Structure 1
Amino acid sequence: MHDNDEIQAIRQQLARPATQFTAGGFRPTQAGDESWLGRVFLFRADEGIPCNAAGDAMLPLAQFHLPSLPVNHPLLAEVRVLTLFISADFGEPLEPMGAHWLIREYGHHEVLERKELAAPASFIKPFPLKAERLDEDYPLWDGGGVPADLEDRILELERQGTIDSYYDIVSHCYAHKIGGYPSFCQSGIDPGDGFEFVFQISSDAKINLNVVDSGSLMFWKHRSSGEWALYYDFY
């Protein structure tokens, strides 16, 4: 196989599509099919803003209307709306959902109510999200999801002088996104068998979110159980 063909084969094997988000920059419609950061306004009739383990209201961090997005994750195919709440204290990476963070998923036919609720101590600035299709997102090199056999092929291309670096042939999206690959700051981790990376919310000065030190909140979902896992790291 010629070097260019080899590179294209590697890219094709690694590429994943994603929806990448940009906060603000346009006038919101206030419609129910709009996605937001820093705001949640769709709830079941018996729901409000959840509390963390200390009894304090969690911060409404995200509301995604999934059918409106150019790319959705297969594990969210039966979900119409996903909302996310998080404590100002994120808790420990990979701790179970409930004490410091909570995801709610709503099916396509669930009846939801619009409630304008706010957490008194929330420092997250609400902005609607502009969603754009990203055809190709690639994993980070250090533990980001490159299979061992491809690592060997890429290292051989470097030894041959065909490429200077893995990042000569791929790019990675560090933005808020659904799909694609997680944006680890340190060496990547694997939350366990059956878990697939689904979405992330990254540090963003516009919404006043700094994940410790320019990190990202990264979320996986288990293919069978539906369990969620949250991991975060930082520089």
Structure 2
Amino acid sequence: MDIQDIKRELAKPATTFEAGGFRPANTIEESWLGRVFLYRPDEELPLGADGQPLLPLAQFYLPALPCVSPQLAKSRVLTVFIAKSFGEVFAPMGDSWLIREYGYDDELVRKDLTVPASFIKAFPLKAEKLEEDYPLWDGGGVPLHLDREICALMKSGDLDSYYDFTTHSYKHKIGGYPSFCQPGVDPGEDFEFVFQVSSDPKINLNVVHSGSLMFWKHRVTGEWTIYYDFY
């Protein structure tokens, strides 16, 4: 197996996001960090395990994005809420974080619901398509059989480093691979990485120490799980 074969097997597309830098249109087609304004008519801000409102973290309008995870093929809008204290990794959804998925038939209304004490600043997102995102080498998601092929190429002298032919985006993104700071983890069988929200001074988000909030979805049950690490 040569380098081009490895790249074809490893590469995944992604949508990456930059916060702000333009005047928001305030349409439902816009994606945001720090703001959620689409809800079902009977929904309000979700409450965490401590009874306090969870903070609006993100709203993604999926049909307007250049690339989305296959796990979101039937979803139109995805909204994300997080507690002021991020809680434990892999904590059950609802205790310190919550994702709401809406399909194309769901009735949604605009509600300007805010948490006055939220530290996350609201910015609209500019989306760009990333054709090729690659996993990080140290536990980042390289399958074992490709790990062996890459090591063989390095041992033979045909390759100096894994990073000679790969790139990885640490930005906010849907799709691609998670941006682990420490050696990666496996959330479990049939869980697939879907999106992340990374530390970003513009929105005043620091995941402990320059980490990312990373989210996986189960291919069969639709269950979500969260993980984060940091430097």
Match of residue 65 from structure 1: 61
Alignment counterpart, residue 130 of structure 1, candidates 115, 121, 126: 126
Q: Deviations over 1:139-174 (max 9, x none)?
A: 001111111111111111112222221001100010
2:210 paired with 1:214: yes
Spell out the pairing of 1:18-57 with structure 2 (5 A cutoff).
18-57=14-53
What is the aligned counterpart of 2:136 among 140, 143, 155?
140
Counterpart of 1:201 in structure 2 is 197
1:105-124 C-alpha deviation (Å, 9 max, x unpaired):
01112111101110121010
Does residue 166 of structure 2 align to residue 164 of structure 1?
no
What is aligned with 2:95? 99
**Alpha-carbon separation, structure 1, partners of 2:149 and 2:96:** 41
Q: 2:172 aligns with which of 173, 176, 184?
A: 176
**Structure 2 residue 114 is the aligned partner of structure 1 residue 118:** yes
Partner of 1:231: helix, strand, or coil? strand
SS at match of 1:200: strand
Aligned with residue 76 of structure 2, among 69, 76, 80: 80
Q: What is the aligned partner in structure 2 of residue 149 from structure 1?
A: 145
Say if 2:90 is the partner of 1:109.
Answer: no
CA distance in 2, matches of 1:130, 1:84: 18
Partner SS, residue 149 of structure 2: helix
TM-score by length of structure 1 reads 0.97
* Alpha-carbon distance between aligned partners in 1 of 2:143 and 2:102, rounded to the nearest angstrom: 34
Take 1:150 and 1:191, find their aligned partners in 2: how far apart are those partners? 20
Q: What's the C-alpha RMSD, in Å, of the aligned pairs?
A: 0.8
Any unmatched runs of 5+ in structure 2?
A: none
Shift of 1:21: 0.5
CA distance in 2, matches of 1:149, 1:42: 44
Secondary structure of residue in 2 paired with 1:10? helix
In 2, Cα distance between equivalents of 1:190 and 1:160 = 30
Establish whether residue 89 from structure 1 lines up as the match of residue 85 from structure 2.
Answer: yes
Q: Distance in 1 between matches of 2:147 and 2:51?
A: 46
Q: Provide the rounded CA distance (Å) in 1 between the counterparts of 2:148 and 2:98.
A: 39
Partner Cα distance (1:196, 1:180) in 2: 10
Match for residue 14 of structure 1? 10
Q: Where do 5+ consecutive residues of structure 1 fail to align?
A: none
Aligned length: 231
Query: % of aligned pairs identical?
Result: 66
The CA deviation string for residues 9-59 of structure 1, in whole angstroms up to 9 with x for no partner, is 111100000000010111110000100000000001111111111111111
Which AA in structure 2 matches 1:161? G
Q: What residue is the counterpart of 1:230 in the other structure? A: 226
| Structure 1 Cα separation of the partners of residues 222 and 61 of structure 2 | 19
Counterpart Cα distance in 1 of 2:221 and 2:155: 43
SS in 2 for 1:119: coil
Runs of 4+ aligned structure 1 residues displaced above 6 Å come to none
